[in-house]
Structure 1
């Protein structure tokens, strides 16, 4: 499983770092990989539908707290916000999606989902992380861990966002309506990633903006 943490960390640190940036963080990334693979498999095996991500949100909140972030849950529903202040500098928001899809898994993986959920009509439906949100969350957690351990390499504020209901567009809107940018530091930069099966890992593009758009149907912050 390919977690693009090194590229993601490099982009975040490039936005926050002083010229005297410390050495490449790859050794830290390598050290985190075994536990991140386990987290990915745990999340993959326990998907939750949009607007139903209670356990997923709690798990991400637990990881952020463990990394040293101040965490608030229940933002706009099951939204999670983690803040790590580290001196003067820009504010960078890193975002992941939390929800899964009503899809039956047929991968045969040892950690395949056998979960079911209820759709809007109360019908039982199979649930699977078929859009890569499990990989996104594991990479998000890895990024949070590495950056928290590398505070000497950057200065500023990190805001880590767990967005519910990305697949249904509702999650970002509800977090914004719940005062996301009034209650928490407003970002100078906002970053996210989307896994792609046929695309090799590479640094992400970034721009000085407070909005973005994902590559699946979603809404801009």
Structure 2
């Protein structure tokens, strides 16, 4: 399913406080509701068609296209298959949202109707089954979803939003090139970095880390 772009349901609502108040929370919730269907479809597609580390060509192309449709400036091929996307919205902090993309050489046995049946060449040159068994399909699709919500709320914040889709997390090869490109695009580097992880008890957990501890948090933190 092609990404339709920013939702009209995520426009600014009247409020005395430009960057806060109950209406901002309502606008975010409306944006999440509006984006949910497309984020879910993106997640299920990525889950059904996983790719091994540094082989994430179709995954990266789909994520890049979704971000471009939202108005991001997209750089492709970072570290081979990585994606770095920027949404510039005036002066302010740079916030980085990071999601990984690669899958594992595992056979899926979940029985889901969108389960992976993909095979690919492993490091030994032999075909192996491939599965998103570590949640990277969820991480990257949620990063795009967050980008969709914030793209629809540009009247409510200032700064630069950066979405990084990192390749090869499982073999520790994709973070370096993505970090270098992110710092180049953001001049002095991101102010805050946000990443997520997935586990059985908590479907999605997020963590925020200051790229430079002396800088102030973004206005919505």
Q: Whole-Å Cα distance in 2 between the matches of residues 122 and 205 of structure 1?
A: 37
Task: Tell whether the 8 Å contact from 1:75 to 1:180 is kept in structure 2 after alignment.
Answer: no
Choose 1 or 2 for highest CA Rg. 2
Flag structure 2 segments of 5+ consecutive residues without an equivalent: 1-16, 214-221
- TM-score, normalised to structure 1, is 0.81
Distance 1:200 1:163, change over 3 A: closer
Is it true that 1:80 corresponds to 2:83 in the alignment?
Answer: yes
2:183 alignment partner, one of 170, 181, 184: 181
Task: Tell whether the 8 Å contact from 2:52 to 2:102 is kept in structure 1 after alignment.
Answer: yes
Is it true that 1:23 corresponds to 2:24 in the alignment?
Answer: yes
Any idea what the Cα deviations from partners look like across 1:76-116, whole Å, max 9, x if unmatched? Answer: 11010100110111011111001000000000110000000
Q: Whole-Å Cα distance in 1 between the matches of residues 55 and 46 of structure 2?
A: 14
- TM-score, normalised to structure 2, is 0.81
Task: Tell whether the 8 Å contact from 1:76 to 1:176 is kept in structure 2 after alignment.
Answer: no
Residue equivalent to 2:116? 113
Q: Whole-Å Cα distance in 2 between the matches of residues 207 and 176 of structure 1?
A: 14
Is it true that 1:54 corresponds to 2:42 in the alignment?
Answer: no
Cα deviation for residue 180 of structure 1 reads: 3.9
Matched residue SS, 2:98: strand
Cα deviation for residue 182 of structure 1 reads: 2.2
Number of corresponding residues: 193
Q: Whole-Å Cα distance in 2 between the matches of residues 19 and 42 of structure 1?
A: 35
Q: Whole-Å Cα distance in 1 between the matches of residues 82 and 20 of structure 2?
A: 35
Distance 1:29 1:180, change over 3 A: closer
Matched residue SS, 1:23: helix
Task: Tell whether the 8 Å contact from 1:77 to 1:175 is kept in structure 2 after alignment.
Answer: no
Matches within 5 A, 1:132-171: 132-171=135-174
Residue equivalent to 1:45? 48
Cα deviation for residue 18 of structure 1 reads: 5.9
Distance 1:84 1:94, change over 3 A: same
Flag structure 1 segments of 5+ consecutive residues without an equivalent: 1-16, 212-221
Any idea what the Cα deviations from partners look like across 1:96-155, whole Å, max 9, x if unmatched? Answer: 001000000000110000000111121100000000111112211110100000001110
Task: Tell whether the 8 Å contact from 2:99 to 2:165 is kept in structure 1 after alignment.
Answer: yes
Cα deviation for residue 23 of structure 1 reads: 1.9
Matched residue SS, 2:208: coil
